[in-house]
Amino acid sequence: MPDLAVALNDWLPSQSWFPSGGRSPVRTEVLHIHPFAPVDDTPAARVRGVVAVVRVHHADGAGGGTYQVPLGVRTSLPTGLRPDVIAQRLGVVLYDALGDPELVDALIRRIAARRGVPGLCPQAGLPGPRLPARPLRSRPLGVEQSNTSVLVEDRYLLKVFRRLEPGTNPDLEVQLLLRDAGSRSVPRLLGALTGRLGRSHATLAVLQEYIADAEDGWRSALTDLPEAGGAGREVPPSPGAAHEPGAFATAVRDLGGAVAEIHRELARAGGTAAVTESGTAALAAGMRARFDAATAEVPSLAPHAEPVLAAYAAVAALPVHGLWPDQRIHGDLHLGQVLRTRRGWRIVDFEGEPNAPLDERRSRHSPLKDVAGMLRSFDYAAHHDRPGGAAPAPGGARGGARDAWRVRRQAAFCGGYAAVAGQDPREFGALLTAHLLDKAVYEAVYETRRRPELAAIPLAAVARLAADINRLPAA
Ligand SMILES: Nc1ncnc2c1ncn2[C@@H]1O[C@H](COP(=O)(O)OP(=O)(O)O)[C@@H](O)[C@H]1O
Ligand SMILES: O=P(O)(O)O[C@H]1O[C@H](CO)[C@@H](O[C@H]2O[C@H](CO)[C@@H](O)[C@H](O)[C@H]2O)[C@H](O)[C@H]1O
């Protein structure tokens, strides 16, 4: 165990899902080791899996937390298996189990057969996947993400949560609600795995249908971008995508409708709470506190304090009559979380903002928070490269066509939302502006920590919104 802790201490910072900020943890402590083996294991089996649950400490406390690392343990690696090795000592190799199809097979079959082991418990009441008798093929998806998703048989996706917090993960909670509501806009939920965490438990993984024929909204949006400085003409989507040229504008409207539909389903399955005056005061206070904390980490936010705080104060002063009630929402909606298929949009990843406290992610919020998340995402896209093309700098001279594109796509999204919800998010100008600012402030911190080269995008949005504070939202 001390050896494992030392080996993980060295290995964790190299993992893309681990928010190290470039620093090594000062100490990694192994909290639990939950062994698992194939369902029909024999004593002679050469391969074992363990789910290690570790607590990571950083000198300044930032980025510390509890993480899950499924490990493979073998005496020798079979030909063709080149996993990410964590340690090799005394004839034993310790490696990242998610790159070993034999161990992924063991986990999936335990979830499917609902056969747990001490410390690991598959979720009852979910249908499970239909598995062939032969060994399962699998590989990590290899996309930029804060967890690790493994593609199984090109049909299923096992999402393994990396950072663990006590209780049911909000991603699973919300997927269960949407399943109860009979939603068609999410991949089918097939199974889940819970593990012991101290005296409590934590969701370790969810298994869902893999949407194979999809293009994510982010890629669709980038393909749709006008040339920097161009007139905003529509261009054909990426090769292999199953959509008509120019259809993205309509698709964005449909996306607005799909998000409104998900909100309606979540309101039905998870209940709603009318907004009260103390509720808007608490919302404004939360936004203010997040802005203050963000300013300490991102000093270039400070010059915007006056208009930003005025926008939040306006929320506290709003008449509450007629505001949309609070409810469970997505919580971190952006173009990378929506999959465009021939059968319409599918929405994924209901875990909420990774930096936000768990209680906040589990609470009810205004649906406008999700709307603001998606509107911000069109702004992000507008500052990126078209596949094979050039991106304009935030506020740069070539950004005019991109600004026009952003405004059109944001309007299409709101229009599609309004058609299903019966009321347009843009009618809640002051509240929507405050949510846009709150999101951009969150993003400024997120990017400063993880992708500093992108921090200029949310910072420019805060500046634009701050300058525009008395007009309707345009970020
Ligand atoms: N069921 C699915 N089918 C196809 N692709 C998916 C599915 N779920 C997620 N993805 C893709 O994988 C990416 C990462 O998944 P996500 O759940 O957002 O992980 P994370 O929470 O770690 O960011 C998504 O942005 C999406 O492109
Ligand atoms: O997908 P995650 O749940 O890990 O969300 C986090 O990472 C996102 C980046 O992938 C981040 O989203 C930000 O960048 C997106 C483009 O890469 C952009 O579309 C979003 O609007 C922007 O917020 C998200 O904020 C963060 O929580």
At 145 the pLDDT is 86
At 397 the pLDDT is 47
Q: Are residues 221 and 331 in the same domain?
A: yes
Pocket of ligand 2 (CB under 6 A): 145-146, 218, 332, 334-336, 349, 353-354, 376-377, 380, 443, 446
In a domain, 475, yes or no: no
Best substitution site from 339, 346, 353 to test ligand 1's pocket, by max atoms within 8 Å of Cβ?
339
In a domain, 474, yes or no: no
Q: Cβ distance 217 to 255 under 8 Å?
A: yes
Q: Are residues 293 and 324 in the same domain?
A: yes
CA pair distance 248, 409, nearest whole angstrom:
9
| 334 alpha carbon – ligand 2 mean position (Å) | 6
Q: Is 159 near ligand 1, meaning CB less than 6 Å away? A: yes
| 216 alpha carbon – ligand 1 mean position (Å) | 9
Q: Are residues 120 and 46 in the same domain?
A: yes
Confidence of residue 354 (pLDDT cuts 50, 70, 90): confident
CB atoms within 10 A of CB 242: 11
In a domain, 435, yes or no: yes
Q: Is residue 201 pLDDT above 70, yes or no?
A: yes
Task: Report pTM.
Answer: 0.91
CA pair distance 434, 227, nearest whole angstrom:
31
Residue whose CA lies nearest to ligand 2 atom number 25? 443
At 220 the pLDDT is 96
CB atoms within 10 A of CB 420: 16
Best substitution site from 15, 68, 139, 143 to test ligand 1's pocket, by max atoms within 8 Å of Cβ?
143
Side chain identity at 164, as an amino acid letter?
A: L
| 280 alpha carbon – ligand 2 mean position (Å) | 26
Q: Are residues 379 and 253 in the same domain?
A: yes
At 168 the pLDDT is 96
In a domain, 410, yes or no: yes
What is the total count of domains within the chain? 2
Q: Are residues 178 and 49 in the same domain?
A: yes
Q: Is 149 near ligand 1, meaning CB less than 6 Å away? A: yes
The enclosing domain of 355 has a CATH number of 3.90.1200.10
Q: Are residues 197 and 318 in the same domain?
A: no
- pLDDT tens-digit map of 40-92: 765 555 568 999 999 999 877 666 799 999 999 999 888 889 889 999 988 89
At 392 the pLDDT is 64
Question: Last residue of some domain: 189, 209, 229?
Answer: 209
| Percentage of the residues of the chain whose pLDDT score is greater than 70 | 90
What is the value of ipTM here, to two decimals?
0.98
In a domain, 153, yes or no: yes
Find all residues with CB under 8 Å of 287, minimum gap 6, and list them. Answer: 312, 315, 434, 437, 438, 441
Average pLDDT, whole number, for the chain? Answer: 90
Q: Is residue 396 pLDDT above 70, yes or no?
A: no
Print the domain residue range for 7.
Answer: 2-209
Of the CA atoms within 13 Å of residue 182, those in its CB half-sphere come to: 0
Best substitution site from 148, 255, 330, 334 to test ligand 2's pocket, by max atoms within 8 Å of Cβ?
334
Residue 311 host element (H or E): helix 305-316
Q: Are residues 24 and 93 in the same domain?
A: yes
Average pLDDT over residues 366-374: 98
Record the tokens describing residue 264, joined without a space.
Answer: 């309606």
Q: Are residues 198 and 242 in the same domain?
A: no
How far from 311 is each of 61, 345, 369, 372, CA to CA, in Å? Answer: 32, 33, 15, 15
Residue whose CA lies nearest to ligand 1 atom number 1? 210
Q: What are phi and psi of 286, to 5 degrees?
A: -65, -45
Q: Are residues 379 and 349 in the same domain?
A: yes
* 3 state SS of 432: helix
Q: Is residue 473 pLDDT above 90, yes or no?
A: no
Average pLDDT over residues 160-173: 96
Side chain identity at 411, as an amino acid letter?
A: A
At 21 the pLDDT is 67
At 356 the pLDDT is 87
In a domain, 88, yes or no: yes
Which ligand sits closest to the CA of 146?
1
In a domain, 335, yes or no: yes
At 384 the pLDDT is 95
Q: What per-residue string of b and e applies to 254-278 under the rule 16 or more CB within 10 Å gives b?
A: bbbbbbbbbbbbbbebbeeeebeee
Q: Are residues 221 and 105 in the same domain?
A: no
H helices, E strands: number in the chain: 12, 17
Query: What is the 3 state secondary structure string of 108-165?
Result: HHHHHHCCCECCEEECCCCCCCCCCCCCCCEEECCCCCCCEEEEECCCEEEEECCEEC
Average pLDDT over residues 241-247: 57
Angle in degrees, CA 433, 435, 436, rounded to 5:
65
Q: Are residues 126 and 25 in the same domain?
A: yes
Q: Are residues 114 and 45 in the same domain?
A: yes
Q: Is residue 189 pLDDT above 90, yes or no?
A: yes
Q: Cβ distance 67 to 56 under 8 Å?
A: yes
Question: Last residue of some domain: 187, 209, 231?
Answer: 209
Query: DSSP per residue over 258-298, as a string?
Result: HHHHHHHHHHHHH-EE---HHHHHHHHHHHHHHHHHHHHH-
- pLDDT tens-digit map of 91-137: 899 999 999 999 999 999 999 999 999 999 999 999 999 999 999 99
In a domain, 332, yes or no: yes
Q: Is residue 236 pLDDT above 80, yes or no?
A: no
Question: Last residue of some domain: 188, 209, 230?
Answer: 209
Find all residues with CB under 8 Å of 241, minimum gap 6, and list them. Answer: 215, 220, 223
Confidence of residue 239 (pLDDT cuts 50, 70, 90): very low
Q: Is residue 435 pLDDT above 50, yes or no?
A: yes
Q: Which residue has the tokens 């639990």?
A: 32
| 144 alpha carbon – ligand 2 mean position (Å) | 10
DSSP label of 78: P
